[in-house]
Copies of this chain bind each other. A is one copy, B any other.
Amino acid sequence: MLKRKSDTCISCEDCNKRSPLFSLLSSEELNIMNANRFEVVFNTGENIVKQGTSASHMIMITRGMAKLYLEGFDKKNLLLEIISPWKLFGGPGLFTDYRYHYSVSALLDTSACFIATENVRRVMRLNPDFAETLLKHCSLNGVSNFQRLISLTQKQMHGRLADVLLYLSEKVYFSPHFSLNITRQEIGEMSNMTKESATRILKEFEHAAIIKLDTKNITLLDIEKLKQLSLHG
């Protein structure tokens, strides 16, 4: 958890340019957000946010990659998202019980900017556009949680794994070919199956020429088939 000068931002300017949420703010409001702001560099594997601790900050990833997950029973996790720069998060606890409801940990060396929750709340009360956009963010999370509930409870393993592959391609790596920096265990945690099942079904997809597989390198060969599997699997 070193803080290195070369990685820190001078102000929120960078984030403003990148985040639709920040571009709504006046310079006065930006000053409020900027107060007490700090940036931290995390090594691969380190916790950025720990579920259950005090939700003191809204956090923006500025470099690297991280996983966002729910810690369930018996050390079993449910991995919800792989997040990259300019993703802002904090979770539903920011406006309820002031606790983080998920954990986030670094998959690569990762920088993150910490904005005090009370500053976010102050600005929200000053700027209705910002408030509306926060509500929209929260609602979009609601929509994707509904989709996830249906995917995880009503699809069989093949469909759930297809969903994960499409998610990785479309939302994380932005390419049909990608080099994974998550393990089979983590693929399992995204699709609610064991690492053995994840392995097995990836192999099946390879044999069916739906994907090209070389341990960490995956190429989606038949995206239509994956979408079709996603519809029931």
Contacts and interface: CB of A to CB of B under 8 A. Distances in A.
Given A73-B155, A128-B124, A128-B131, A78 B148 contact: no
Nearest to A148: B149
A130 to B, nearest CB: 10
A13 interface: no
A189 to B, nearest CB: 10
B73 A139 contact: no
Given A92-B140, A131-B124, A140-B96, A78 B149 contact: yes
A139 B96 contact: yes
Interface residues of A, number: 43
A146 B70 contact: yes
A50 to B, nearest CB: 15
16 contacts: A72-B154, A73-B231, A78-B153, A78-B154, A92-B141, A96-B139, A101-B143, A101-B146, A125-B128, A125-B131, A125-B132, A126-B128, A131-B131, A138-B139, A138-B142, A153-B153
